[in-house]
Amino acid sequence: MLGDSVLRQKAQAAIRNGSVPVGRPDRTWGGPGIGAPCAVCDLPVTKGEMEYEFEMKVAHDGDNSGSDKFHVHIQCFAMWEFARAVVLRPVTTGLSDDELRRQVRARLSEGRLGSVDGVSRSHRGTGRPCIVCRRTIAPTEVEREVNGQGVALHAHEACYKPWREESVARRAATGPVLGRGRTRRGDLYEDRPSLRAAT
């Protein structure tokens, strides 16, 4: 088995090149190896070794979603968890948290940023620009995809948090009244980001 420092480097490289995901597994199993190559170190997990097998739902090209399965040595799984923690550290936008929040609040009030209602999913960055800070969301970063009216908006995980919090605060301050950009669902009102807000 390779040393921890080598495995850490391999795990970080595997996340960077997209061969293993950065998100949390949907399902995880443990047991004797079946001879499949380890997703982190590429060496087979033999029957005499213990392995973790984990499954993650992924979005493939053409919007077809499915699940990918990964086999890893126990030690490689630990190094992958360490590498995930490094990659998931909050992204640095160059702005302080307070400044980012002030900009989000101003753009929401001016209608230059749509209000988010919380219908979203997280996945590995796709290289799209962040709707909040406008920086590219790299494959080593976590991307939050927000569903709008026939359009998906993308944000860094760290940018999504103040966007969501300020959107909730704005809705609470303005009250549930029907108006432009709102739809009624039963007795609930929900803001929908518009295409105009994404520019």
- For residue 193, name the pLDDT band (cuts at 50, 70, 90): very low
* Amino acid in the structure at residue 195: L
Tens-place pLDDT, residues 68-77: 889 999 899 8
- For residue 82, name the pLDDT band (cuts at 50, 70, 90): confident
Last residue of a domain, one of 49, 67, 87: 87
Token output for 40: 């982190």
CA distance 75 to 52: 10
Specify the pLDDT at position 182: 44
Query: Residue 107: inside a domain, yes or no?
Result: yes
Per the CB < 8 A criterion, the answer to whether 104 and 131 are in contact is no
Structural domain range at position 77: 4-87
69 and 102 in a single domain? The answer is: no
CA-only gyration radius of the chain, Å: 20
Specify the pLDDT at position 87: 63
Specify the pLDDT at position 188: 29
Give CA separation, 170 vs 53, 111, 122, 190, in Å. Answer: 43, 12, 23, 12
Mean of the per-residue pLDDT values of the chain: 77
- For residue 58, name the pLDDT band (cuts at 50, 70, 90): low
Higher pLDDT, 117 or 164: 164
Average pLDDT rounded to a whole number, residues 28-45? 93
102 and 184 in a single domain? The answer is: yes
| Distance from the Cα of residue 46 to its chain's centroid | 32
Average pLDDT rounded to a whole number, residues 44-59? 86
Predicted TM-score of the model (pTM): 0.45
Tens-place pLDDT, residues 136-166: 888 878 888 887 667 788 888 888 889 989 9
15 and 51 in a single domain? The answer is: yes
Give percent above pLDDT 70 in the chain. 75
Query: Residue 92: inside a domain, yes or no?
Result: no
Question: For position 190, which CATH number holds?
Answer: 3.30.1740
Structural domains in the chain (count): 2
102 and 171 in a single domain? The answer is: yes
Strands (E), 40-191: 50-59, 65-73, 120-124, 142-147, 152-156, 182-185, 188-191
Token output for 129: 């620009």
194 and 125 in a single domain? The answer is: yes
